[in-house]
Amino acid sequence: MNISMGIVVEILLGGIFSVFWMMLLFLKILGFSLDNLIKSIITIVNTSNLGYLLVILFAFAYVNGWVIHFICDVIFDTIFQKKIREKIFKSEENFYIARANVFLYGSEYIIKDIDFDRQLLRTSRQNAFNFLLIAVILLAYIYENKSLILILSITSLLISILSFLQWRSKYISSYNKIYRAYKTLNKEGLHNNKTNPSLAKLSDLPYSSFDNTSPSVIEQSLTKQNKTKSDLTQIKNKPVKNKKQPDKTFKGSL
């Protein structure tokens, strides 16, 4: 399995933030105060081998990051993503088949652009989830230092809200890219919709009501690539004129 460094960093950061709110939650359940928690962390850092400690922390955070990724995927897909996809693609089936066609026949530019969007979506999604829990759990320590806890909790809540808004905006934008790219591919006739009549109707739909941008950049990129493919096909199939046929008559003597 090929996992890029970007995904590793993304999962690791999500895991580190999740470790933070889990630590706050468990230590509060065990009766630790905020002052005791800070003193314990300082003592562990001063008395332990920092290298081994970081290795253990990163290993746990990485494993935990994949769990958080799965939890966020289930929650966001169930509550938000399906509704947005259905408004853009009219059905789940249309979305998955349209996406498959874009990844099969789309240009390298649009595929990289969509992959980058997906990475941003995963990052903003887990940030919205983690910082919301941090904001809520911090309130359990509010009686120990009211002003500090309120500042930290409100800041975490704002980060969570902004991350969610970023996720929603980028999610709609990314899915409209897939939608426009599919319509362009369908216009160019690079794939066949006879096996799925309901999907063929997708090409006749107007651009989504979510979409306030023009598809010019994506369509131009795809159209240019498709024109190149079409030209190459015509050259390949073009008959060769005035080609001299080999002389099959035996000439000369032994």
Backbone φ and ψ of 7, nearest 5°: -70, -40
pTM (predicted TM-score): 0.70
Cβ contact 29:142 at 8 Å? no
Express each pLDDT in 173-207 by its tens digit. Answer: 998 999 988 888 887 665 544 444 444 444 444 44
Cβ contact 19:61 at 8 Å? yes
**Which parts of the chain have pLDDT scores under 70?**
1-3, 188-254
Tokens at 240, concatenated: 């060769």
Give the list of residues 6+ apart from residue 65 with CB closer than 8 angstroms, or none.
11, 12, 13, 14, 15, 16, 18, 126
**How many whole angstroms separate alpha carbon 166 and alpha carbon 252?**
83
The domain locations on the chain are 5-229
Q: What is the pLDDT of residue 27?
A: 85
Q: What is the pLDDT of residue 238?
A: 56
Q: What is the pLDDT of residue 85?
A: 87
